[in-house]
């Protein structure tokens, strides 16, 4: 959590130069990018549903969505795809580490959310959104 926050803080100076794109370009096959986009849209929907569940204090539901859709349980969904359609094959190590960190954070959130404390749950959820932000602000595919 702290680590992700520090990574984002380190990226803040880049925000001042909005017109200059300093993100690292990662070349991916069109197939891998298409797979990635489907996964990303699912993450965004899951996040939306998790926040909704939290706002209604449905902690078990929030935990369930997080673990199944974004957590460690959701890792390796491209495993059976042809190699050129697996986004992970194209990711530099650090980018891949952010991706793995996101899955681990989502599982952490799921465990914490089950405890029924909204503030604690939100703190761990921010580690998840932190991974989205860190990856998007560090890498581009076009
Ligand atoms: C490891 C890096 C990484 C992480 C972590 C990550 N993303 Fe992405 N995301 C990408 C890349 C790369 C693209 C661009 C894919 C492309 O079009 O080539 C993208 C694209 C997207 C898009 C646009 C999809 C479209 O239709 O074009 C959404 C929405 C998105 N991400 C949401 C999220 C959310 C929400 C999270 C966190 C829960 C997240 N992403 C975490 C790398 C990441």
Q: Is 85 near ligand 1, meaning CB less than 6 Å away?
A: no
CA atoms of 102 and 87, how far apart (whole Å):
15
Query: Could you read off the pLDDT of 73-119 as tens digits, one per residue?
Result: 999 889 999 999 999 999 999 999 999 999 999 999 999 999 999 99
Other C-beta atoms lying within 10 Å of the C-beta of residue 124:
20
Q: Is 43 near ligand 1, meaning CB less than 6 Å away?
A: yes
Query: Could you read off the pLDDT of 53-63 as tens digits, one per residue?
Result: 999 999 999 99
Average pLDDT over residues 28-54: 98
User: Which pLDDT score is estimated for 19?
Assistant: 81
Give the whole-number percent of the chain exceeding pLDDT 70.
87
What is the phi-psi region of residue 92: left when phi exceeds 0, alpha when psi lies from -120 to 50, beta otherwise?
beta
Query: What is the position in ligand 1's atom list of the atom closest to the CA of 96?
Result: 1
Domain 26-140 in CATH 1.20.120? yes
The DSSP call for residue 71 is: S
Q: Is 104 near ligand 1, meaning CB less than 6 Å away?
A: no
Q: Is 50 near ligand 1, meaning CB less than 6 Å away?
A: no
What is the phi-psi region of residue 79: left when phi exceeds 0, alpha when psi lies from -120 to 50, beta otherwise?
alpha
User: Which pLDDT score is estimated for 3?
Assistant: 62
Q: Is 102 near ligand 1, meaning CB less than 6 Å away?
A: yes
- Which residue minimizes the CA distance to atom 41 of ligand 1? 132
- Sorted by sequence, the CB contacts under 8 Å of residue 115 that are 6+ apart come out as 59, 121
Average pLDDT, the chain: 92
User: Which pLDDT score is estimated for 42?
Assistant: 98
Q: List strand residue ranges (DSSP E) for 11-119, in order.
A: 24-25
- Which residue minimizes the CA distance to atom 7 of ligand 1? 132
Pairwise pLDDT comparison (17 vs 66), residue with the higher score: 66
Other C-beta atoms lying within 10 Å of the C-beta of residue 24:
10
Cα 11 to averaged position of ligand 1 atoms, centre (Å): 17
Q: How crowded is the C-beta side of 94, counted as CA atoms within 13 Å?
A: 9
pTM for this one?
0.90
Cα 132 to averaged position of ligand 1 atoms, centre (Å): 7
């Amino acid at each position: 959590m702290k680590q992700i926050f520090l990574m984002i803080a380190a990226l803040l100076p880049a925000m001042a130069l909005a017109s200059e794109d300093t993100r690292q370009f990662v070349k991916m096959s069109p197939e891998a990018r298409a797979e990635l986009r489907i996964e990303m849209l699912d993450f965004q929907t899951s996040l939306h549903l998790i926040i909704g569940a939290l706002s209604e204090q449905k902690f078990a539901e929030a935990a369930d969505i997080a673990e199944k859709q974004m957590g460690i349980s959701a890792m390796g969904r491209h495993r059976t795809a042809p190699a050129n359609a697996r986004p992970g094959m194209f990711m530099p190590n650090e980018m891949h580490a952010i991706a793995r960190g996101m899955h681990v954070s989502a599982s952490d959130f799921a465990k914490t959310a089950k405890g029924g404390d909204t503030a604690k749950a939100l703190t761990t959820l921010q580690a998840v959104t932190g991974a989205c932000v860190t990856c998007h602000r560090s890498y581009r595919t076009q």
